[in-house]
């Protein structure tokens, strides 16, 4: 079977490819701060906290600090860091006084490191859903981002002990 340039199947294939690429790569920028690809995994119940992941790139000339994160999707939102205790057990703890993003640096919100916790969800997060979150930085101000819920096969972290 041969597809021609104006064949509807060819056009549909191109549009599907482009829409998939757009869903995978989205970024938000303001005041020297770039937020790359904010995403979360689906949850199965609204009682289970959800983690949000993204990269923060500081393209500014000085450090900036992520002061808070808000969304209407959760009662409480906290920036956490996973730390290994003296018994080699990973524990997640809230970041106090903001998260510093040095000038010229990238800080990754990822499994096993910093991440944003959504506690007290209004409903479970469903794959392919999108929802707004506002990141407030000391210098860059408020940056509204869109979280994409992705059903990734990466290792899942149990957040039920929050």
pLDDT in tens, 66-81: 999 999 999 999 999 9
Residue 128: CB atoms within 10 A of its CB come to: 10
Helix H, strand E, coil C: the string for 4-19 is CCCCHHHHHHHHHHHH
Q: What is the mean pLDDT of each run of 10 residues along the chain (162 residues)?
A: 53 48 72 97 91 97 98 97 89 94 97 95 96 98 98 57 48
CATH number, residue 97: 2.60.40.1890
Residue 59 domain-assigned? Answer: yes
Q: Is residue 18 part of a domain?
A: no
For residue 52, tell me if it sits in a domain.
yes
Is 159 a domain residue? no
pLDDT reported for residue 21: 44
- DSSP letter at 160 equals T
Residue 129 lies in a domain: yes
Is 36 within the bounds of a domain? Answer: yes
Number of domains forming the structure of the chain: 1
Longest dimension (CA), the chain: 64
Q: Whole domain around residue 131: which residue ranges?
A: 28-149
- Cα 84 to Cα 7, 72, 78, 81, distances in angstroms: 56, 31, 19, 10
pLDDT tens-place string over residues 105-129:
999 999 999 999 999 999 999 999 9
Asked whether residue 122 is assigned to any structural domain, the reply reads: yes
Q: What is the predicted pLDDT for the residue at 154?
A: 45
Residue 1 lies in a domain: no
């Amino acid at each position: 079977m041969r597809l021609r340039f104006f064949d509807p199947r060819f056009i549909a294939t191109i549009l599907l490819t482009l829409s998939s690429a757009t869903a995978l790569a989205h970024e938000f920028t303001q005041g020297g701060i770039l937020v790359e690809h904010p995403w979360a995994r689906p949850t199965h119940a609204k009682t289970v906290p959800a983690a949000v992941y993204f990269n923060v790139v500081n393209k500014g000339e000085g450090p900036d600090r992520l002061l808070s994160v808000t969304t209407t999707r959760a009662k409480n939102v906290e920036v956490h860091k996973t730390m290994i205790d003296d018994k080699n057990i990973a524990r997640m703890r809230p970041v106090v006084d903001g998260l510093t993003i040095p000038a010229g640096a990238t800080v990754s919100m990822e499994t096993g490191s910093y991440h944003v916790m959504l506690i007290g969800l209004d409903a479970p997060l469903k794959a392919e859903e999108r929802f707004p979150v506002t990141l407030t930085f000391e210098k860059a101000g408020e940056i509204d981002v869109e979280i994409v819920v992705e059903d990734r096969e990466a290792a899942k972290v149990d957040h039920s002990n929050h």
